[in-house]
Copies of this chain bind each other. A is one copy, B any other.
Amino acid sequence: MFISRRAKEIQASPIRKLKPFADEAKQRGIHIFHLNIGDPDIPTPKPIIRAFHQYNGPILGYGPSQGFEELRQAIADYFAGYDLKLTADNVLITIGGSEAIHFSFSVVADPGDEIIIPEPFYTNYNGYATFADVKIVPLPLKVEDGFRLPPTERIEALITPRTRAILLCSPNNPTGTVYSEEELSRVIELVKKYDLFLIGDEVYKEFVYDGLKQKSILEYKEIEDRVIVVDSISKRFSSCGARIGAVITRNEEVYQTILKFAQARLCPPSVEQYAALAAYRMGMGYFEPIRQEYQRRRDVLFEGLTSIPGVVLGKPQGAFYVICRLPVKDSEHFVQWMLTDFSLNNKTVMVAPGPGFYATSGRGQDEVRIAYVLKEEDLSEAIEILRQGLEKYQKLFS
């Protein structure tokens, strides 16, 4: 029977396809340190849990397609804390950051159109690109360069008549890079020159370290019509399972068009929106201790990994991921082997193979993404397991 081409082409989640091996290891009594997925262990803030408890019905009906106004206003207020002037009408609530990506891709591009994205990039861009039949044009970055943006000519060379947007994720999943003002301005020049949209995935906004500040693309007045920002409460408030995100844009036509997509799916979940509202009402004070916690984890991870022979990585500046090169030929095989064949005191480590973060075939094969979403003690133990695993693996397979 005919299955659509796009359905066949869509990539199975490279992280999730290893799950059977992880399940099987668990059945053998092996404890797995999960550094493969950005599912933080920080408890969900109490006001979110309380919002569920306070929900009283009586009818769990449809809400507005653009989301509840109070929540849209609360998000505008949150950005005001960063001196960004937005109104509730610049904010459209989505079902997770995922839907915000899907809406953004669909509003800027028709089937066959192109969006340039620095590579490696968040796996699910692939999924939504296939879903929306849009072509991702990867801009290859390298671990040796700390995944910084290349000279402008290299980016410009990728622009074609079908290019519709450039997407920048900063702080970056999976590399941990935070783009500098210099890098952003170069991209902005191109966006103006070639009449493109600039999509910003800024869901890790709060996770920047060493006193660095994330510069939002919403801060650039000169291109305010061209900017679409993808946002989410998933990581910001340890609420990945709530599925509340947002699209933020000052372009009225883009907003109204996305609203039409939003109307087709009726509305985001209602009670989860109340929960998100409670989260934003906690105020900015909530973030600092969390940021410090992740910075400490980052430090533990970075020191640990750099002490392993053959491991190459730059110091992540934000988010809670790093892409590093390992002394292996096939990281998928290594990651799987760690689940099926290796353990230390009945424990092992799961990381995410590199190729899933690349659109260019063959890239990332000696790389993995590590998410530092566990507490320092666990992280230290996980790194030790990784060190010994690598040592044994190299003896067996080189």
Contacts and interface: CB of A to CB of B under 8 A. Distances in A.
Contacts of A98: 264-266
Contact of A60 (B2, B5, B55, B241): B241
Contacts of A238: 59-61
B106 A261 contact: no
Interface string A82-123: 000000000000011011001000111111010000000000
Contacts of A212: none
A350 to B, nearest CB: 15
B7 A241 contact: no
A8 interface: yes
B44 A49 contact: no
B43 A61 contact: no
Contacts of A251: 1
A390 to B, nearest CB: 28
B241 A61 contact: yes
Given A3-B107, A39-B61, A106-B4, A240 B266 contact: yes
A111 B111 contact: yes
A16 interface: yes
Contacts of A108: 2-4
Contacts of A10: 257, 260-261, 264
Contact of A127 (B57, B111, B260, B270): B260
A124 interface: yes
B106 A271 contact: no
A189 interface: no
A41 B58 CA distance: 9
Given A98-B264, A111-B111, A272-B271, A65 B13 contact: yes
Range of interface residues on A (Cβ < 8 Å): 35 or more
Contacts of A49: 55-57, 60
Contacts of A254: 3
Contact of A243 (B241, B259, B269): B269
A242 B8 contact: no
A107 B4 contact: yes
Given A1-B197, A55-B49, A266 B7 contact: no
A43 B57 contact: yes
B44 A59 contact: yes
A183 interface: no
A124 B12 contact: no
A355 interface: no
B226 A1 contact: yes
Contacts of A4: 106-110, 113, 164
Interface of A: 1-8, 10-13, 16, 37, 39-44, 48-49, 52-53, 55-63, 65, 95-96, 98-99, 102, 106-111, 113, 124, 126-128, 131, 133, 164, 195, 197, 225-226, 238-243, 251, 253-254, 257-261, 263-272
Given A43-B57, A43-B59, 4 more contacts: A6-B111, A44-B59, A61-B240, A243-B268
| A-B interface, 5 closest residue pairs, ranked by CB to CB distance from nearest | A127-B264, A241-B270, A13-B263, A98-B265, A7-B257
